[in-house]
Amino acid sequence: MSKADPRDYLTRNRYLFYIPIVILFFIPLLPIPIYVMHVLVLSLLFAYLCTSWALISGFAGQVSLGHTCFYGIGAYTTTLLFHYYGLTPWIGGIIGIAFSAIFAFILGYACFRFKVRGPYFTFATLASTVILEGLFVSQSQITGGELGIEMPYIGSPLYFQFTEKTHYYLVILVLWLCVLFLSRRIQNTKFGYYLFAIREDEDAAEACGINTTKYKIFALVLSAALTGFGGVFHSQYYLYITPSAVYGLDRSFQISSTALVGGSNVWFGPSLGSFLINPIVEWTRATYGGTIYTLPLMIYGLLMILIGRFLPEGISGIIQRLISYKREKDTQKGRS
Amino acid sequence: MSVNLLQGLVNGILAGGIYMTIAVGINLIYGVMHIVNYAHGEVLMVGMYIAYWLFTLAGVNPYLAIPIVAAILFVFGVLLHKSVIEPVLDLPLQRQILIFIGLIHVFQNSVMILWSPNYRSIGIPITRESIRISFIRIPIGRLLALIIALASALALHYFLKNTKIGKFIVATSQDPEASSALGIDIRKTRTLTFALSLALTGIAACTLSPIYFIFPYTGTGFNIFAFIIITLGGLGSYTGAIVGSIIVGLIESLVCLLSDASIATAVAFLVFILILLFRPSGIMGRRE
């Protein structure tokens, strides 16, 4: 290995990795148009949601197509508590997260305890989303039904409401970084290895003495709690929620497909997918909106088919392959 | 009250018949290939558009268009299977889902570009009528959908049990390796199964096109119901699909009648989850 190898330099000076993160924190100081800021917030929100989704669906391989039920619980708990009791969303949000986690525990315990697996689990999550959507639509005296419910605007940080988009940006940035580091930690701990074992072969993992039910439930609850806070953020960012906006299956499918395009088996994969796809989709929406808006979506669909077919680990798989290829080459050089 | 209840039962069975038309097709594919065709509702939507254009441009009655639409979708099924589905079969669930979400996007948006997102409908007089038996009304369009669904399900059953190719399909679904060793061309059988399932969907599309609106997102609603039904009945189980669709249809219609329409679907799906807890592989499903 040559002395000037940049990789070697990076391994010795780990703090260099933190430079892009610091730059992200200073972006709001730049004169960025509000719309671009909105796209950034949206990308970060999806990066956050997809990374949370990947904890259960990527790491543990239990594909959920109904993650919006946790998202919606978080959003509705906060909004309803604020609307009726004037409780600040900071506390309401924590209660929302707790409700999401409890719901995930019930669903996870029910499904995993009774060995509901593979497509059966996927459809159980799908059904629970539809159930919650129906429930919130039907209780229209409380939730406003299909028309949704508004969050009274106060505009005070004490109530998780800001006057500037940049403040929302900073909040979601911190959240995303937290979940990213959490995901990275999990990948390198015993818990993560258990989940990978469950993904590869559940029966074999159980035969090795891993309590698969327990770890799957734990992964689901963790993922749901994080997703729940995404919902809290949604309710504060848009200040208006409807059952179809927070529980809608579109969002569920979007979370899964974005994460899978990026590659859901690595900690940075889902974020990669989100930062790649959301700006492109938003840009095409702004540019071709109303005329051939659907054409970019069709191309996106084709892209998904191609990625699913030819890239086993999504886009992050390419990066990983490049790294491992380089490493192999280096070790070969070292031997000769 | 009892008349209402009877009407509710009739409505439930009719709704079940509509779900059945799609569920049987998805289950046929799952039984042989062990993949869920998440884009099945979108195929149905394409079939409904074909029926619509046949009716609008050539004046073909949708019920008479059944063989044409079925044939078109059969060929389409062969092409789709060869190009997209066959390479996916051995991939893990996550990647299959990604590819199918991609397919859904492609179908919906290409139809949207071609024929705009406008709602369309086929107006033929017979579907506006209903049969009256004392106080109970049976809409003819829905009744025809149920009868044709049952007839095609029975025909499929006969085909699987009594013809050579049908027996190949059953053998492949039971044990691919063993049937391969016995000289059955598994690849061909799978292609045929997929195409056959799409042809069944074509039949369903023709019977549904006079009673539903036709627009690029028609398939999504059917999709969700079909998934829940086949999982409830047991993935790959033939009788399961029929039993499941009747159960879901009945629960929905009875809840509509007794309490609130907006919660009907939610209750049906809740029952689905509860049944899943006691029978993790569905009512008629095989333990895997």
Each residue of A55-99: pLDDT tens digit? 999 899 889 988 999 999 999 999 999 988 888 889 999 999 999
Q: For residue A126, which residues of chain B lie inside 8 Å, CB to CB?
A: 224, 227-228
Residue A204 has pLDDT above 70, yes or no: yes
**Nearest-neighbour CA in chain B from A277: distance (Å):** 13
Contact call for B93 and A126, based on CB within 8 A: no
**Residues of chain B contacting residue A122, judged by C-beta atoms under 8 Å apart:** 93, 97
pLDDT at A6: 63
Q: How confident is residue B72, by pLDDT bands cut at 50, 70 and 90?
A: very high
Is A228's pLDDT higher than 90? yes
Tell me if B102 and A131 make a contact (CB, 8 A cut-off). Answer: no
Confidence at residue A195, expressed as pLDDT on a 0 to 100 scale: 92
pLDDT at B93: 84
Statement: residue A324 has pLDDT above 50: yes
pLDDT band, very low/low/confident/very high, at B1 (cuts 50, 70, 90): low
Q: What pLDDT sits at residue A289?
A: 66
Touching check for A303 and chain B: CB below 8 Å? yes
Residues 170-199 of A with CB under 8 A from B: none
Model confidence pLDDT, tens digit, residues B206-230: 998 888 899 988 888 888 889 889 8
CA distance B152 to chain A (A): 26
Most confident region among A100-109, B81-90, B234-243, B277-286 by mean pLDDT: A100-109
Q: Taking CB atoms and an 8 Å cutoff, what residues of chain A touch B255?
A: none
Residue type (1 letter), A134: G
Q: What is the 3-state secondary structure (H, E, C) of B36-96?
A: CCCCHHHHHHHHHHHHHHHHHHHCCCCCCCHHHHHHHHHHHHHHHHHHHHHHHCCCCHHHH
Considering only CB atoms, which chain B residues are within 8 Å of A301?
Answer: 101-106, 109
Question: Which residue is it, tokens 């996916």?
Answer: B88
Whole-angstrom distance between the N-terminal and C-terminal Cα of chain B?
A: 44
Q: How far, in Å, CA of A43 to CA of A289, rounded?
A: 19
Q: At how many degrees (to 10) do helices B2-33 and B140-162 cross?
A: 30
Q: Could you give the percent of chain A with pLDDT greater than 70? A: 93
Q: Which of A38-52, A153-167, B215-229 holds the top average pLDDT?
A: A38-52
* pLDDT score of B8: 86
Q: Please tell me whether residue A110 adopts helix, strand or coil conformation.
A: helix
pTM for this one? Answer: 0.89
Residues of B (136-195) whose Cβ lies below 8 Å from A: none
User: Across chain A, what does the average pLDDT equal?
Assistant: 86
A318, pLDDT greater than 80:
yes
Confidence of residue B6 (pLDDT cuts 50, 70, 90): confident
Q: Is residue B133 very low, low, confident or very high in pLDDT (cuts 50, 70, 90)?
A: confident
Q: Is the pLDDT of residue A276 over 60?
A: yes
Q: How far apart are CA A314 and CA A334, in angstroms?
A: 31
pLDDT value at residue A1: 46
